[in-house]
Chains A and B, each alone.
Chain A
């Protein structure tokens, strides 16, 4: 596939990695965080870490919307879906995410709730048009990449005068989460020397919103595509910035990302959504100005208002290390549940449910071979 295959050339990747090894200073450790689950996935799938010298460490960030959605919001979605008049439309990623007391959307669907997996918000609009007797709620989740499609659905619902369509909005903002990670000052917080910035989030917001991470926090940021060579090139660019004492915003994914982003999409987002004062992120806690809700003129499309949703706090499985993994403080293999009680078949936490989660990436691509798994320990006794 054009614009994909070129960036998956293994020989080129190995040569680039040799270049990185040559330029990495002996005795210096480089800690780079890839914010996005898409990057984590590429790193695991293509074995990028195996190519890098030992003194470059990749830290996996919280850029997986399914992973950072707090359990309380999953509970809200389940409660909503169990209302007899409601048809809940959701992206497939959310179906198996555990709610409180072992619940999930998948289990509710099996028990009879009208929950439908959709590929696009356009599908949800079609369902609402074709089934006027149903209250169709779209479970909106995702970073800035996924927000414009939700905005366009609301725009379309308005145009079609749909009175049975609403959105349960859980859209969150990338720069707020990056800032939270860079601000974390508690002992044991993760130290990073540079960031690989989001690929498709940046097609929407551009590279300008990251500027403050260079000026205020003195961290280099390289926005990169999701293919393995994109990631390797971004690592080389970060390495050079660190070696030269620079902290700048650079754009490796310039074929799709501009400084200003997608103005049309940003205008739609600004018109329909406004900032919430604060929003809870799994692993990162409450972050001010980090999420969106519908503005007053669009209240009729807001499921939170229509169904008077009040999110109750919910507790994750206490043994699950998702929180620390999302902060980059721990790796999946540091979790007792990983590979034992928690696998993609029976996920205990969101990092294993979402295919973009760090745990799922480690599991799927065998990045746990250097750790004795819980099952092996049991078997050895």
Chain B
């Protein structure tokens, strides 16, 4: 029920709607719940609504931490 997927905003529409791409599949979604959405942003899409923006810098930091911890494991 709480599953949501990352979608890329490709066009802003009237009434706080947007066209978003789910890995190439384009659908309309509401962006009424997130502030300052821009074209190119990735959002967390849930039942037709964007719930949050995905922060690219934080994503990269998380992946760096993952690789660092994994490296310690790989050397074991």
Interface residues of A (CB under 8 A from B): 1-4, 6, 12, 14-22, 36-38, 63-66, 91, 93, 119-123, 141-143, 145-146, 148-149, 152, 198-201, 203-204, 226, 229, 233, 236, 252, 254-257, 262, 264-265, 268, 354, 356
Are B48 and A119 neighbours in the complex by a CB distance under 8 Å? yes
Are B33 and A264 neighbours in the complex by a CB distance under 8 Å? yes
Which residues of chain B (27-55) have a CB below 8 Å from chain A? Answer: 30, 32-35, 42, 44, 46-49, 51-55
The residue from A200, A254, A264 contacting B34, defined by CB atoms under 8 A apart: A264
Q: A38-B2, A200-B44 are in contact. Are A236 and B34 (CB under 8 A)?
A: no
A256's nearest neighbour on chain B, judged by CB, is B52
Are B2 and A198 neighbours in the complex by a CB distance under 8 Å? yes
Query: Which residues of the other chain, A, contact B34 by a CB distance below 8 angstroms?
Result: 262, 264
In the complex the two chains form, what is the Cα distance from A119 to B59 in whole Å? Answer: 28
The residue from A3, A66, A119, A199 contacting B42, defined by CB atoms under 8 A apart: A3
Are B33 and A262 neighbours in the complex by a CB distance under 8 Å? yes
Are A254 and B58 neighbours in the complex by a CB distance under 8 Å? yes
The residue from A15, A146, A226, A229 contacting B73, defined by CB atoms under 8 A apart: A15
Q: A16-B66, A148-B33 are in contact. Are A91 and B72 (CB under 8 A)?
A: no
Are A254 and B1 neighbours in the complex by a CB distance under 8 Å? no
Are B62 and A252 neighbours in the complex by a CB distance under 8 Å? yes
B33's nearest neighbour on chain A, judged by CB, is A265
Are B52 and A143 neighbours in the complex by a CB distance under 8 Å? no
In the complex the two chains form, what is the Cα distance from A36 to B1 in whole Å? Answer: 10
Are A19 and B4 neighbours in the complex by a CB distance under 8 Å? no
Are A255 and B58 neighbours in the complex by a CB distance under 8 Å? yes
Q: What are 21 residue pairs bridging A and B, where the CB atoms are less than 8 Å apart in the complex?
A: A2-B23, A2-B42, A4-B5, A6-B63, A16-B69, A38-B3, A63-B2, A120-B48, A145-B51, A146-B1, A146-B46, A148-B33, A148-B49, A149-B49, A203-B51, A233-B65, A233-B66, A252-B62, A254-B55, A256-B52, A264-B34
Closest Cβ of chain B: how far from A234's Cβ, in Å?
A: 11
Query: Which residues of the other chain, A, contact B74 by a CB distance below 8 angstroms?
Result: 15, 18
The residue from B3, B47, B59, B66 contacting A3, defined by CB atoms under 8 A apart: B59
Query: Which residues of the other chain, B, contact A198 by a CB distance below 8 angstroms?
Result: 2
Are B76 and A149 neighbours in the complex by a CB distance under 8 Å? no
Are A3 and B54 neighbours in the complex by a CB distance under 8 Å? yes
In the complex the two chains form, what is the Cα distance from A19 to B2 in whole Å? Answer: 30
Query: Which residues of the other chain, B, contact A354 by a CB distance below 8 angstroms?
Result: 1
